Structure 1
Amino acid sequence: MNSEHDIESTEHLLQELKKIKLDPKALHAFQEQYTPHYSFQSLSDYLNYYIAEHPDLETRKIYIDANIPPSYGNQIFNGTKKRPGKYKLIPICIAMGMSLTETNRALRLAKAPELDPRNKQDMALIICINEKVRTIYTVNEFLEAAELPPPSGILNHEI
């Protein structure tokens, strides 16, 4: 089961809501069709749901590929670290193989800014995510080849 398709994107829902006029029956039909199946109250809820839906993922490998200490990763996954910084969370999302939509959802839950296609480093990160890069080492190689400095904290996690 692919979580990206199970959970309607916010953009899709907003487009569908534009079609609903001041018609209570249409609103009720919409609510029936798009009843949320999953409600993530926290970043850790979302990350743990994602891992459960992707049994091939192992936290040990995620931490290695994201270049983060297991103690820090465990704090994020168990919810004691509720708001990791944007460039601390992105390597985890990349190592988990999240899409851009899924990564931005994780960033929103962490109350961090989403990836911005107008920011040069974020442009490169978006490309890496779209190309399904799975390690922060590959991301850093790409940034270096593109002559872009890595965003603060993405190369070496100063925790």
Structure 2
Amino acid sequence: MVDKRTAILASILNTAGITSYGTLKYESFMKIILNSKEKKVKDILREYENEFIDRKASHLLHDFIQEKKLKNVEVIERSNVTKDYFYAIYSGKRMPGRDKTLQLAFGMSLSLKETNLFLKTAGHNELYARNKRDLIIMVCLKDCKTLSETDYILYEIGFDPLTPE
């Protein structure tokens, strides 16, 4: 099955008049696109601008906190991240890793949809139901589990918890 990113790139190549690309990987698509003289990069970017995420994780973090009427200190405590780390993300100086992004999602009691948006905005893959660990996390989000409850479930089933020990 072709992932969304590859499908978009295949569509871009077809639009640029490049139809024989076989089963190339993402990196190969990028080389073809960058070497293509048939269509300007600006035109390609303009055509597919809705597929790109321009928001920063820090902006989305701020928006979620305001929307859910949370205090930063609450999110810090419920996410089990340090104050310094939280404010580095909040100010845009740092991008959180995938597990830290998930910790923050639990700390803000985000829905699965909101969590996936937060993950994408932070530059990470969405939770994937065919990955056992991700599936457990998805169920915990759906069931409104806390971070510590989720970590316990992950640990009991034999997976790494989100929070480092």
- Using structure 2 for the length normalisation, give the TM-score: 0.63
The answer as to 2:121 corresponding to 1:109 is yes
1:89 match: secondary structure: helix
Deviation at 1:40, TM superposition (A): 6.1
* Cα distance between partner residues in 1 of 2:135 and 2:75: 23
**Amino acid corresponding to residue 65 of structure 1 in structure 2:** R
- Which aligned pairs between 1:8-157 and structure 2 lie closer than 5 A? 41-55=55-69, 57-82=70-95, 84-133=96-145, 135-145=146-156, 147-150=157-160, 154-156=162-164
Identity between Structure 1 and Structure 2 (%)? 27
In structure 1, runs of 5+ residues without a counterpart are 1-38
Deviation at 1:52, TM superposition (A): 1.2
Q: In terms of Rg, which structure is larger?
A: 2
1:116 match: secondary structure: coil
**Amino acid corresponding to residue 56 of structure 2 in structure 1:** S
Deviations 1:113-146 (A, max 9, x none): 111111111111001100112x32111111233x
- Using structure 1 for the length normalisation, give the TM-score: 0.66
Higher RCO (Cα < 8 Å, 6 or more apart): 1
In structure 2, runs of 5+ residues without a counterpart are 1-52
